[in-house]
Amino acid sequence: MWEGADGNGGELLDGVFETTLAMLAGAHSSARARELCARAIALAESQGWASDPVAGVALAARAHIDVWEGRFDEAEQWLDRAAQALRPDAEPATRLLLHLTRGMLHVGRGRLGQALMEFRAAEQLQTLLAAPHVLTVRIQQFLVQTLVRLGDTAAARATLARISEEHRDWGEARAARASVYFAEGDPQAAVDALAPVLTVRRP
């Protein structure tokens, strides 16, 4: 239950975060996540919580959805509101989502150095989580691909090495490996890395 929320409000905010994570895992559409965010933000505003930490999760989730869909201006506005609402001691999972989303926004705007700092901050927050997080591999994927774009393939490989055995066959991990192989001039290895997760559509 989110601090400051009770009854249906707390359940709705829990649902926002869970649905956003499910969207990232491919189990829910962004439309469903967007709908829940809109309801949660409207509830927070109606209860006078819009600038309180309790609203931060919905604001951060809405920003993430907008970044994912390329709505960078809207995402930046939601991120600003989330940053104002969240305290430094907010739940690690929410802060992790905020850093990941900021990093993705910076990538979209071509600010790779700033993106790298946000992804590293998100990676550090993972150590505060009680269990592996659904965003863990996504963060590592963005870290690797950003390092590759910055020309630091050695650091990208070091990040790849930190991906757990359990996650190495995930699509995000394979995409990260493929980006390193391609940067090192081995496109066939990149194709081979992606082959198990590529879907061939028949006419």
pTM over cut 0.75: yes
Residue 126 corresponds to which amino acid?
Q
Q: What is the rounded average pLDDT of the residues 27-56?
A: 75
pLDDT in tens, 55-105: 788 888 899 989 989 999 999 999 999 998 887 777 888 889 899 999 999
- Judge whether 105 and 79 are in contact, CB under 8 Å: yes
Cα 162 from chain centroid? 18
Residue 120 Cα distances to 106, 124, 157, 175, angstroms:
13, 6, 15, 19
Collapsed DSSP state (helix, strand, coil) of residue 183: helix
What pLDDT, on a 0 to 100 scale, did the predictor assign at position 28? 53
**Domain segments of the chain as ranges:** 20-111, 134-202
Rounded CA gap, 61 and 78, in Å?
Answer: 9
Q: What is the rounded average pLDDT of the residues 152-179?
A: 94
pLDDT in tens, 109-120: 999 999 999 999
Residue whose pair of structure tokens reads 């900021």 in the numeric block = 102
The residues, any chain, with a CB within 8 Å of residue 71's CB and separated by 6 or more, are none
**What is the pLDDT confidence band of residue 8, given thresholds at 50, 70 and 90?**
very low
CA dihedral (152, 153, 159, 161) positive or negative: negative
Q: Comparing 26-30, 35-39, 141-145, 187-191, which segment has the lowest mean pLDDT?
A: 26-30
Rounded CA gap, 24 and 122, in Å?
Answer: 16
